[in-house]
Structure formats: C-alpha cells, structure tokens
Amino acid sequence: MASTRTDPLSLEVVELIGTVVSRYHTEYDLAAGRHSLTGAQARVLTLLAMAPIPMRRIAQTLKCEPSNITGIVDRLEARGLVERRPDPADRRVKLAAATEEGRQTARDLRDGLDFAREPLAQLSHEDRVALRDLLRRMLGEQP
C-alpha cells in the first residue's frame, strides 16, 4: 500500500490545494493593485480592519520580520489607512489600527475578490460546511 506521500489521490489533492492558493494570491494581488496597495500592504490592512493589533503580533501572524511590518505600516499610515496608538493595557506597546478609510478600503478589497466567492457559491451549504471542517482538521483545529 502506498504512503500518503506517494498516494496518487493525496498527490492530486495537494496539487489542487496549491492551484487554489496560487489563484487566490494572484487575484488578491490584482485586487490590492486596484487600490494602489501591494499584496503585503493589503494583507496587513485586512488584518487591522478586524481589530487593532500590536506590531509584533502582526509580524508573527504574517510570518515575517517585524522590520518589514514597520515599513508596511509606515506606508499605510502615510496614506491615512492606518494609525498607531498606545495599547490601553500597556502604554509601552504600540497598536496598529485601521482608520475608517482603511476599514472601507479593506471592505472594498474583500468585496473585489471573486475567485474564492464564486466557486464556493456553486457548492451547497452542506458541502461548504464539510470543506470548512476538513480544512480545520487538516490544520489541527476542532470543527
């Protein structure tokens, strides 16, 4: 019996996941460009639109160097999309937060992403729940 590393079905699933990820990143970068953002800037803005976050945690979440995040936040701040503020729990920590314009830009960016939404719309609710639960299991999360 073949291991899951060489099992043709597993290899096909890995290839399909890779294709989905590649198409998503391509569309995400194009959508970001329509807002004069790089893909990295758009990802940071989207993250900050959910809630203010310490700079270090942004770097950890996006798996990049804190110095890269500082430059990205500087550029977003210069455009009025992000602001820095002290953390009320620890005033030594700076939080990055999306401004109202930044939150609107993040919504517009999300609304401009058709790739993920369109194929998922073709799946039934039950299929989307099953896909979500399978992806969570793959990531070691409980559904």
For the ranges 1-10, 120-129, 132-141, the lowest mean pLDDT is seen at: 1-10
Q: Are 96 and 55 in contact (CB under 8 A)?
A: yes
Domains of the chain, residue spans? 34-112, 114-143
Report pLDDT digits (tens) over 114-129: 776 677 788 899 999 9
Report pLDDT digits (tens) over 74-105: 999 999 999 999 988 888 888 999 999 999 99
* pTM: predicted TM-score of the whole model, two decimal places: 0.77
Contacts 24+ apart (CB under 8 A), 7-13: none
Is domain 34-112 classified as CATH 3.40.50.2300?
A: no
CA atoms within 13 A on the CB side of 143: 10
